[in-house]
Amino acid sequence: MITRPDGRFLTQRQIPKMTLIVTSLPQEALSNEWGQLSPDAALTLNAPGMDPLHVPLRSAPATEAELKQCTCWEWSGLAKDEGEDAAKWLTEFLGKPVRLVRYVGQASEGSAEANPKRRACEPEFGNGTETMFADGYPYLLTTESSLEDLNRKVPQPMDMNRFRPNIVIDGSVPAWDEDNWQSFELGGGPDRAVKFHSLKPCSRCKVTTTDQETGEVGREPLMALGKFRSGKALGWSAMGSWKHEVFFGWNLGADSTGTVAVGDQLTVLKTRTAPMAA
């Protein structure tokens, strides 16, 4: 997570230029081989006009001196500062003093609610789910069908990367059908299926108006979503503020562990009849 020097988190909302930073990870960090990372395994950051920055993935346990107080939305707790090289690289590219911090909470260290190194999702919907430095939840699901429908309502079609999901369902499901999924599983077979449940619809902010390739900021898709995907239009009243918010995608929690891969089959286990009514 990128923060101000005082530990307050920063996003594309404040610095649209962050869209131009491209990250990459070694293959073993994207699979169940995480425990077998090589000593030189690194998170690599690239940006226009900059030499690559390599941030080691294997890290010694943080000392008290390396921990700093950070805030991410409603959460305030301790994270590990990644040092001067990372801070210097990001400060030079973004044009303002910033730091890079690492989430260090471990499940073995007690409940997320009681441990200053761990972050629990908002209690209204999280049901004890832990997340790290994502906006609010560990998983965000969208569907290609819903994006196709939205793209018919905006002046210029846009890519899915504006919405930053980590699970995307292909066009084999009807547009907006994800609103009805209360629980489902993804997997290549019964021995590798991971069960998920929908926690809350994802309200969208101005980050979606930023072109992820250029950093340019416009007005869509928020204008279009406001006409048919607002809480008022959808009849969603679980929170009073939802009346004026717009929604695309769903935040999830996981009910089991496992590996999810491209090409996995979606199986809906339970549907809801009245999404997110109070």
Tens of pLDDT along 65-120? 789 999 999 999 999 999 999 999 999 999 999 999 999 998 777 776 778 999 99
Is 132 part of any domain?
no
Residue 55 CB partners (closer than 8 Å, separation 6+):
42, 43, 44, 45, 82, 86, 100
- Tell whether 96 and 184 lie within a shared domain: no
Is 276 part of any domain?
no
Q: What is the pLDDT of residue 277?
A: 60
Is 171 part of any domain?
yes
Distance in angstroms (rounded) separating the CA atoms of residues 1 and 21:
13
Tokens 């077998």, residue?
Answer: 36
Q: What is the pLDDT of residue 226?
A: 97
Is 212 part of any domain?
yes
- Tell whether 105 and 158 lie within a shared domain: no
Is 237 part of any domain?
yes
Contact indicator for 3, 72 with CB cutoff of 8 Å: no
Number of helices (H), then strands (E), in the chain: 5, 15
- Tell whether 258 and 153 lie within a shared domain: yes
pTM over 0.85: yes
Residue 202: CB atoms within 10 Å: 23
Is 176 part of any domain?
yes
- Tell whether 43 and 157 lie within a shared domain: no
Q: What is the pLDDT of residue 275?
A: 61
Distance in angstroms (rounded) separating the CA atoms of residues 198 and 191:
22
Q: What is the pLDDT of residue 196?
A: 96
> 260: which 2 tokens?
């999810």
Q: What is the DSSP letter of 96?
A: S
Q: Amino acid identity, residue 62?
A: A
Contact indicator for 84, 67 with CB cutoff of 8 Å: no
Q: What is the pLDDT of residue 55?
A: 96
Ranges of residues in the chain with a pLDDT under 50 are none
- Domains identified in the chain, total number: 2
Q: What is the pLDDT of residue 128?
A: 82
- Tell whether 19 and 76 lie within a shared domain: yes
Is 131 part of any domain?
no
- Tell whether 265 and 147 lie within a shared domain: yes
Domain that holds residue 50: 2-119
Is 134 part of any domain?
no
Residue at which a domain ends, from 55, 84, 119 = 119
Cis amide linkage into residue 221, ω under 30° from 0: yes
- Tell whether 11 and 103 lie within a shared domain: yes
Instruction: Of 222, 200, 193, give the one whose Cα is nearest residue 209.
Output: 222
Q: What is the pLDDT of residue 37?
A: 86
- Tell whether 95 and 146 lie within a shared domain: no
- Tell whether 73 and 145 lie within a shared domain: no
- Tell whether 90 and 174 lie within a shared domain: no
- Tell whether 152 and 102 lie within a shared domain: no
- Tell whether 148 and 54 lie within a shared domain: no
Q: What is the DSSP letter of 30?
A: G
